[in-house]
């Protein structure tokens, strides 16, 4: 199914994934509608604070697809419980309810792998969610519950439980680096060295272009329900750091002192069999290739700053 000429409404389009997704949709010749408070050159914008609207403005516009990316994107960014619940839960539920009144072809909602209990095994979509989640994980779980409730009545929703996304365009400045990939790359480029904890935690790193491809394929598919969006490949943080050290020709020290990056021993790596079956596709970018592309982008940004 072609997206050419189709109208795709995106919330959170000025964020890391959103900006990359817009480029991908424009390559499909789709018309993008940006709902949010940050203007994007060349993209039609509806200026709205999603926590302060009843979404009645949607009655006045037509669109075919929706990608809901707005929200705090990681536990590290979700500093305040009330703010997190307002944006991630309340506004999302109101948004879903309004969309359910309209005749849209597909809605994609970006959730997170943090809803799962940790495991050394690959985690499937039907496995247990957290019993005692922090407020960030609870916010994602609450939004999922409402979406799945509507989906049971025909709401055309795909929920992606996203692994650790990285790539060009991710925030790199020190005060905005809650995630490990930009932090390690920036340290390597600026300080010519890194130090990481010799831990056993496993993560599932997925390149942003693959995330965007997954979203596009979900929009084009007949599938509705939950899908893991990851690679299914287990990677230790020190393995990630070693790749970055090799590609930047910098020093790496692996420490047994757990203070470095405050990493736990918990592991979350996603089983992607359902994704592959539902979309006829799987992520294609290997970690080394994706990190190399990301480093090249960061080199230019660091030079300018």
Q: Can you give the pLDDT at residue 285?
A: 98
Q: Can you give the pLDDT at residue 176?
A: 53
Query: What's 7-164+208-232+270-283's CATH class?
Result: alpha beta
To the question of pTM greater than 0.75 for the whole model, the response is yes
pLDDT for 140-171, tens place per residue?
Answer: 999 999 999 999 999 999 999 999 999 998 87
User: What share of the chain in percent tops pLDDT 70?
Assistant: 91
Alpha carbon distance 127, 210 (integer Å)? 24
Which band of pLDDT confidence, cut at 50, 70 and 90, is reported for residue 192?
confident
Alpha carbon distance 58, 97 (integer Å)? 11
Q: Can you give the pLDDT at residue 303?
A: 74
pLDDT for 218-267, tens place per residue?
Answer: 999 999 999 999 999 999 989 999 999 999 999 998 887 655 444 555 79
Residue 243 CA from chain centroid, whole number: 22
State the number of CA atoms in the 13 A half-sphere of 225 facing the CB: 10
Cα angle, residue 129 at apex, residues 128 and 134 outer, rounded to 5°: 155
Each domain of the chain, given as residue ranges in start order, spans 7-164+208-232+270-283
Secondary structure (3-state) at 83:
helix
pLDDT for 41-100, tens place per residue?
Answer: 889 999 999 999 999 999 999 999 999 999 876 666 666 788 888 989 999 999 999 999
Write phi, then psi, for 174 (nearest 5 degrees). -55, -45
User: Where would I find the beta strands (DSSP E) of 113-255?
Assistant: 157-162, 164-166, 193-197, 202-203, 205-207, 225-229, 235-236, 251-255
Taking every pair of Cα atoms in the chain, the longest distance, rounded to a whole number of angstroms, is: 58
| Across 125-144, average pLDDT | 92
Who wins on pLDDT, 120 or 226?
Answer: 226
């Amino acid at each position: 199914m072609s997206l050419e000429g189709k109208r795709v409404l995106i919330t959170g389009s000025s964020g890391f994934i959103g900006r990359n997704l817009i480029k991908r949709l424009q390559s499909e010749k789709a018309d993008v509608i940006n709902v949010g408070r940050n203007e994007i050159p060349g993209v039609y914008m509806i200026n709205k604070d999603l926590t302060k609207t009843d979404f009645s403005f949607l009655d006045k516009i037509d669109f075919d697809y929706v990608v809901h990316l707005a929200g705090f994107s990681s536990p590290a960014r979700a500093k305040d419980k009330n703010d997190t619940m307002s944006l991630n839960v309340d506004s999302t539920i109101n948004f879903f309810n309004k969309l359910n009144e309209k005749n849209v072809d597909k809605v994609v909602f970006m959730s997170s792998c943090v809803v799962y209990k940790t495991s050394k095994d690959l985690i499937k979509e039907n496995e247990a969610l957290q019993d005692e989640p922090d407020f960030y994980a609870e916010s994602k779980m609450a939004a999922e519950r409402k979406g799945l409730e509507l989906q049971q009545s025909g709401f055309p929703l795909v929920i992606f439980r996203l692994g650790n996304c990285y790539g060009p365009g991710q925030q790199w400045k020190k005060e905005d680096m809650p995630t490990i990939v930009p932090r390690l790359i920036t340290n390597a480029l600026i300080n010519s060295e890194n130090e990481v904890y010799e831990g056993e935690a496993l993560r599932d790193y997925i390149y942003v272009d693959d995330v965007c491809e997954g979203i596009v394929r979900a929009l084009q598919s007949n599938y509705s329900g939950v899908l893991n969006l990851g690679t299914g490949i287990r990677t230790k943080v020190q393995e990630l750091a070693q790749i970055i050290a090799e590609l930047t020709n910098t020093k790496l020290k692996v420490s047994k002192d757990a203070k470095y990056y405050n990493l736990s021993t918990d592991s979350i790596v996603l089983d992607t069999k359902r994704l592959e079956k539902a979309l006829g596709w799987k992520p294609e970018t290997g970690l080394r290739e994706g990190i190399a592309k990301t480093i090249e982008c960061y080199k230019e940004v660091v030079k300018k700053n």
